[in-house]
Chain A
Amino acid sequence: MKNYFQNIWQSITTLLIGLGITIKHMFKARKGNVTLQYPEEKWPRPERNIGFDPKNYNIIRSKLHVDIDDCIGCRKCERACPVGCIKIDALKVPKETDLGLTSSGTTKRLLISRFDIDMTECMFCNLCTYPCPEDCIFMTGGPNSEKQPLDYEYSQYDRSRLIFKFANVTKNDIRRITTAPPVQQEIL
């Protein structure tokens, strides 16, 4: 009987001692000793040296990026994608509206109201970047790093936030641009 209570007493005291140590550590916790609040905080990316300069790579497949200002809305990338993870809405605008030029000098004729890439579905096959006439959809990093720095993590809290939206026109813009201004008809 005495043994029985002694066992209980021992287990309680040793447990408490252990708990005490944990609590002491809890208040002593320094930064770096506790869980990293990923993705707000990140460890620095370790250096990687495989004997080649990343600039000399043919390509680094990290993340798709679209220079939306250069896109002419030809949908070639959308059609090339095997899994259908690119969605483009391109609106016709009245003839007179000037949407500007791309960096290679092509006149833009369509207003891109939606350019979404679902990165959860993308399988990084790189098929979409080849047919683009303006070279405005590309994988970041490597030889493309002067256009866009390398991004390899892009972690999010929710899957739906991995749908990257590249279009930068607002609803108001769309309404303003697509409704044609009254055209003055010349009467002969």
Chain B
Amino acid sequence: MGLVHAEEMTLNIGPQHPSTHGVLRLKVKTDGEIISEITPVIGYLHRCFEKHCENLSYEQVIPFTDRCDYIAAMNNSFGYVLAVEKLMDIQVPERVEYIRVIMAEYNRIASHLLALGTFGLDVGAYTPFLYMFRDRERILDLFEITCGARLLYNYMWVGGVSHDLPLGFMEASYRFLDEFEKNINEYHNILSYNKIFIERSADVGIMPKDVAIDYGVTGPNLRGSGVKWDLRKDEPYSIYNRFKFDVPVGTGIMGSVGDCWDRYWVRAEEMQESIKIIRQALDKIPREGNVHEALPKKVRPPKGSIYFRTESPRGDLGYYIISDGTPTPLRVKMRSPAFTALSALSEIATGWMLSDVLVILGSLDIVLGEIDR
């Protein structure tokens, strides 16, 4: 009998792979079916966002921030304009604040719908994906009548928003929210409590609390690990302190705290909270007001720097902006939440089966545009 020669096999997943959610390459070392080492290779979508910003004026950066996280473009530009406004000390009108919150929360729902749908797709459930896209479509329709674009809006401007709410927006919003609330229960029945789905995602890819914090993971991924940390609640920016909402955290209902199912569950619950916020905002929004009132003539912040964080659907989105007093920023750095979440992948995915890796990756909800910038 000859010697049985055993060695690890190196597998290459991506850069073009349906489950990597973008152009991401995973270098995977497998021992049989078990992952012994996993190295994400990123940079395929690098578009020099930060270099670009050094040559653009402050308003011109906004469309580029949209393109970083193209799933939640509203939230991205929201963070940026808030940072610049803080730097310039601009007070925006009430109506603008409410419009921004409504848009940001709508975009959060849309983003979570996509995240949950594609997560189901990774696990093998095709139908919920289509249902979720149907609802996401209606949010995009609302965006379209508001600013003419469905994905990359350039809607939030420094000191205001580009257009006021169009005719019929309110009624359409209420109608949508009423129907969508029912649909969430449908999703729970079709996907969340499905036995196969639970088997695939519960107790898989557990991210303990301390690992998540150590890696700087934020957002739903951190809350899935049981840490109650939400910037909207703990460090309220804009007018989030006026709304009542809860911060859902993972409690390990189906398995242990911090598994893929928990991360999924936190997102699903967050959609409920977003609905609450939108409802309150729609009720309270001032009916009159000029959204272009506070637009500055020239966006030229005084010398200084700021690190401003907002809660995007993926986590703490930070902008580090340094101004040298000229119309172009000296430096704009974007701290992207998906970047840190992906850096934790090599830790939490080792030791699992190859097929679980894609589930774990899907549960982290990464957007490669934001990672590579």
Contact = CB atoms under 8 A, between A and B. Distances in A.
B166 A58 contact: yes
A59 B148 contact: yes
B172 A52 contact: yes
* Among A56, A57, A125, A127: residue with most chain B CB under 10 A: A125
Contacts of B152: 123-125
A51 B166 CA distance: 13
Interface residues of A, number: 20
Given A50-B141, A52-B168, A56-B168, A61 B63 contact: no
B63 A58 contact: no
A102 interface: no
A171 B202 CA distance: 73
Nearest to A141: B148
Given A51-B141, A80-B60, A58 B147 contact: yes
Contacts, number: 60
A187 B56 CA distance: 54
Contacts of B167: 56
Interface in B160-183: 162-164, 166-168, 172
B166 A57 contact: yes
Contacts of B62: 125
Contact of A125 (B63, B144, B145, B172): B63
A80 B147 CA distance: 18
A60 interface: yes
Interface string A55-92: 01111110000000000000000001110000000000
Contacts of A124: 149, 152
Contact of B146 (A51, A58, A80): A58
Nearest to A123: B63
A58 B154 contact: no
A139 interface: yes
Contacts of A59: 147-148, 163
A59 B164 CA distance: 11
A126 interface: yes
Contacts of B141: 50-52
B59 interface: yes
B64 interface: yes
A82 B172 contact: no
Contacts of B149: 61, 124, 126
Nearest to B137: A50
Interface string A97-132: 000000000000000000000000001111100100
Contacts of A50: 141, 144-145
B148 A126 contact: yes
A126 B154 contact: yes
A139 B148 CA distance: 10
A128 to B, nearest CB: 11
A86 B166 CA distance: 29
User: Chain B interface: which size bin?
Assistant: 20 to 34
Interface in B106-154: 141, 144-149, 152, 154
Nearest to B149: A61
B64 A82 contact: yes
B63 A142 contact: no
B60 A130 contact: no
Contacts of A125: 62-63, 152, 154
B64 A57 contact: no
A7 to B, nearest CB: 40
A52 B154 contact: no
B64 A56 contact: no
A57 B146 CA distance: 7
A57 B168 CA distance: 10
Contacts of B59: 80, 127
A58 B64 contact: no
Contacts of B67: 123
A187 B144 CA distance: 66
A142 B162 CA distance: 16
Interface in B302-320: none
A130 B162 contact: yes
B139 to A, nearest CB: 11
A57 B154 contact: no
Contacts of A126: 147-149, 154, 162
Interface in A42-57: 50-52, 56-57
Contact of B56 (A51, A60, A61, A82): A82
B369 to A, nearest CB: 14
* Among B144, B148, B168: residue with most chain A CB under 10 A: B148
Nearest to B59: A127
25 contacts: A50-B145, A51-B141, A52-B141, A52-B145, A56-B145, A56-B166, A57-B166, A58-B145, A58-B146, A58-B163, A58-B164, A59-B148, A59-B163, A80-B59, A82-B61, A82-B63, A123-B63, A124-B152, A125-B62, A125-B63, A125-B154, A126-B162, A127-B60, A127-B154, A139-B148
The 8 closest A-B pairs by CB, nearest first: A82-B60, A59-B148, A125-B63, A61-B148, A58-B163, A125-B154, A50-B141, A56-B167
Given A51-B141, A123-B63, 7 more contacts: A58-B147, A58-B166, A61-B148, A82-B56, A82-B63, A127-B63, A130-B162
